[in-house]
Amino acid sequence: MNHALRRIAAAFAEAGVSGRLHAVDIDSGTEIDAGADHPVVTASVHKLCLLVALHQHAAAGRLDLTELVECPPADRTAGPTGLAAMLDPVRMSLRDAAYLMTAVSDNAAADLLLARIGLDAVNEATARLGLTRTRAVHTFRSLFATVREDAGPDAARALADPQVLGRLRALDPARSNRSTPRDMTRLLAAVWRDEACTPEHGAAIRRLLGLQVWPHRMAAGFPFDDVHVAGKTGSLPTVRNEVGVIEYPDGGRYAVAVFTRAANPAATLPAADAVIGTTARIAVDALRARQAPPEPA
């Protein structure tokens, strides 16, 4: 495991990021800890917590996932994907909003769901699962509002300034939606073991996580047709995250959480994206090596 930890640290350094990682074999509990208990900004990874809370409400009969909600164009949370990028009125079910929130990280869809169940429900869901260091304090609309307020009138240009980045509440785990890598792998393991929700709802959550469209982070480390990656990304200025479960054809399944912060403020940093997959692969390979039977003499 020490060799794997050294390789993980070297990969983060080469990519120009600081990184925190936790990986765990869902069935045996064997783990890789590379800053697993360090507080991190979740960004859109917190949509996983919202997804679990939504399905807990549905399982308890407090809402029907086929319930329709309206999303007028004048009152949408900003974002580059899904409803957030659409121009016309939309009427859709809660479960289809959950799909957009998860598969393409649609901020407007996420805030539709938050308007239905509330931040308190999200925090109750994570507390119920023992995620003591995980907390939502912002809707996605209010999170981005803090970025605009903290960056000032010339936000786009200001976000390249390290001094401006240093004062963003959104990038401070003490003042933003937050967790730890260990809390996130614990949540994923609970979803995969049907401990977070009933089996029916656990299967629905796993399906949505498997439909995420982004292949450039965690999935990039596992380019095999018979290895399944299901996860949720999160991004903010200098922040690139992903949490997910890697499933192998031999039944091995591994929850991995990787949270990074880049020194370079550029919006496009392929190496910073790719290192999430690289380090996840190093961690999973190390976990699998511990399970491998000894070579015959």
DSSP per-residue codes, 239-268: EEEEEEEEE-TTS-EEEEEEEEEESS--S-
Q: Are 108 and 84 in contact (CB under 8 A)?
A: yes
Q: What percent of the chain shows pLDDT beyond 90?
A: 90
Residue 73 has pLDDT above 70, yes or no: yes
Alpha-carbon gap, residue 61 to 294, rounded angstroms: 50
Question: Which two three-digit tokens encode residue 261?
Answer: 């912060």
pLDDT category, 292, cuts 50, 70, 90? low
Query: When comparing pLDDT for 159 and 194, which is higher?
Result: 194
Confidence at residue 231, expressed as pLDDT on a 0 to 100 scale: 98
Residue 116 is predicted with a pLDDT of 97
For residues 205-225, give the mean pLDDT.
Answer: 97
Identify the band that residue 33 occupies on the pLDDT scale cut at 50, 70 and 90.
Answer: very high
Residue 202 has pLDDT above 60, yes or no: yes
Instruction: Say yes or no to pLDDT of 19 above 90.
Output: yes
Q: Give pLDDT, residue 157.
A: 78
Higher pLDDT, 14 or 293: 14
- pLDDT tens for 118-153 read 999 999 999 999 999 999 999 999 999 999 999 988
Residue 293 pLDDT:
57
Q: pLDDT at position 186, please? A: 98
Closest by alpha carbon to 55, among 197, 210, 206, 232? 197
Q: How far is Cα 290 from Cα 218, in angstroms, rounded to an integer?
A: 21
pLDDT at 296 > cutoff 70: no
Inform me whether the pLDDT recorded for 207 exceeds 60.
Answer: yes
The domains located in the chain, with CATH, are: 2-291 (3.40.710.10)
Using the Cα atoms of residue 68, residue 118, residue 206 and residue 275 in order, give the sign of their dihedral. Answer: positive
Q: For 257, phi and psi rounded to 5 degrees?
A: -130, 125
Which has more pLDDT, 157 or 18? 18
pTM: 0.95
